[in-house]
């Protein structure tokens, strides 16, 4: 296979990954607390010992090596619902109890189940700084959640939201439904969950996704046009090779 074809196919593979990445971000543009995923690329030198010329024995290709998470805070949208809470600072998470153990989320769209337990949209219990579920009863009255996460009602303080951070936010695994998990045996995870004393919680508000839809749509159009251009290059190269083979066959005949 010619070097031009190798390079073009490498570029097409990268563009497909970019398109999948952009599509994922756009699909979550309205997901509360969602963090945009971006891609990392590097040059990869491929060896081609059979190339007739020394200058063609190394081919510089593009390779997508990883994704990383943009942790900037999304827009804080005020809802005036007392159980909606937003984290105004980056790299912090609410602790949530799931069937798979404790996981973490920036989606503070909380509510109460029929038993008065504070839960997420998916029905998972929200944990206090003591690692326990949080319950309310009819006598509690008005609920106030302060910036440090402490929860008070008409009868006094009843709990404090568990808000944590991590040494390496990028090591967190997306598990779906705005949830993240940490593998305890991951050497890049650091010391695990670390409590945050004053996370800057805003009551009656939600943090929206930090995806910029206009920028993402522009990127998608650019990727599509580039992919089409590379496809035309491949078609042109294939036509050149067919013509060359045909002409060589005519000469030998």
Of the candidate ranges 69-73, 167-171, 182-186, 195-199, the one whose mean pLDDT is the lowest: 182-186
pLDDT at 60 over 80: no
pTM: 0.78
pLDDT at 163 over 80: yes
Give me the count of residues in the chain: 253
Q: Which residue has the higher pLDDT, 11 or 209?
A: 209
Q: What is the mean pLDDT of residues 185-190?
A: 60
Q: Is 247 helix (H, G, I), strand (E, B) or coil?
A: helix
Q: Which residue has the higher pLDDT, 9 or 82?
A: 82
Q: Is 137 helix (H, G, I), strand (E, B) or coil?
A: coil
C-beta of residue 201 within 8 angstroms of C-beta of residue 161: yes
Q: Exposed/middle/buried for 174, CB within 10 Å: 0-12, 13-18, 19+?
A: middle
C-beta of residue 189 within 8 angstroms of C-beta of residue 171: yes
Q: Band of the pLDDT at 9, cuts 50, 70, 90?
A: confident
CB atoms within 10 A of CB 53: 6
Q: Band of the pLDDT at 65, cuts 50, 70, 90?
A: low
Q: Band of the pLDDT at 39, cuts 50, 70, 90?
A: confident
Q: Which pLDDT belongs to residue 53?
A: 47
Residues 138-158 have pLDDT tens digits of 888 899 999 999 999 998 999
Any idea what DSSP says for residue 52? S
Residues 192-247 have pLDDT tens digits of 889 998 899 999 999 999 999 999 999 999 999 988 888 888 777 777 777 777 76
Ranges assigned E (strand) in 48-147? 58-69, 76-78, 85-87, 93-98, 101-105, 111-112, 118-119, 144-145
d(Cα 181, Cα 170) in Å, to the nearest integer? 11
């Amino acid at each position: 296979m010619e070097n031009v074809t190798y390079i073009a196919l490498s570029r097409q593979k990268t563009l497909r990954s970019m398109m999948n990445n952009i599509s994922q971000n756009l699909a979550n543009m309205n997901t509360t607390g969602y963090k945009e995923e971006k891609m990392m690329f590097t040059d990869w030198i491929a060896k081609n010992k059979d190339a007739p010329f020394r200058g063609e024995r190394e081919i510089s290709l593009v390779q997508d090596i990883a994704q990383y998470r943009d942790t900037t805070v999304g827009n804080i949208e005020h809802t005036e619902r007392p159980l909606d809470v937003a984290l105004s600072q980056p790299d912090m998470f609410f602790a949530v109890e799931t069937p798979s153990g404790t996981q973490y989320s920036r989606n503070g769209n909380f509510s109460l189940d029929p038993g008065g337990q504070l839960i997420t949209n998916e029905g998972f219990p929200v944990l206090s700084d003591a690692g326990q579920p949080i319950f309310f009863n009819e006598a509690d009255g008005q609920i106030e959640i302060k910036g440090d996460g402490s929860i008070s009602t008409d009868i006094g303080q009843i709990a404090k939201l568990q808000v944590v951070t991590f040494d390496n936010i990028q090591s967190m695994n997306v598990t779906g439904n705005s949830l993240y998990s940490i593998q305890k045996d991951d050497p890049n995870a650091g010391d695990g969950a670390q409590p945050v004393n004053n996370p800057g919680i805003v009551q009656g508000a939600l943090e929206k996704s930090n995806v910029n839809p206009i920028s993402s749509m522009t990127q998608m159009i650019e990727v599509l046009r580039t992919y089409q251009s590379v496809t035309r290059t491949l078609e042109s190269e294939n036509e050149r090779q067919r013509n060359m083979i045909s002409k060589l066959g005519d000469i030998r005949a």
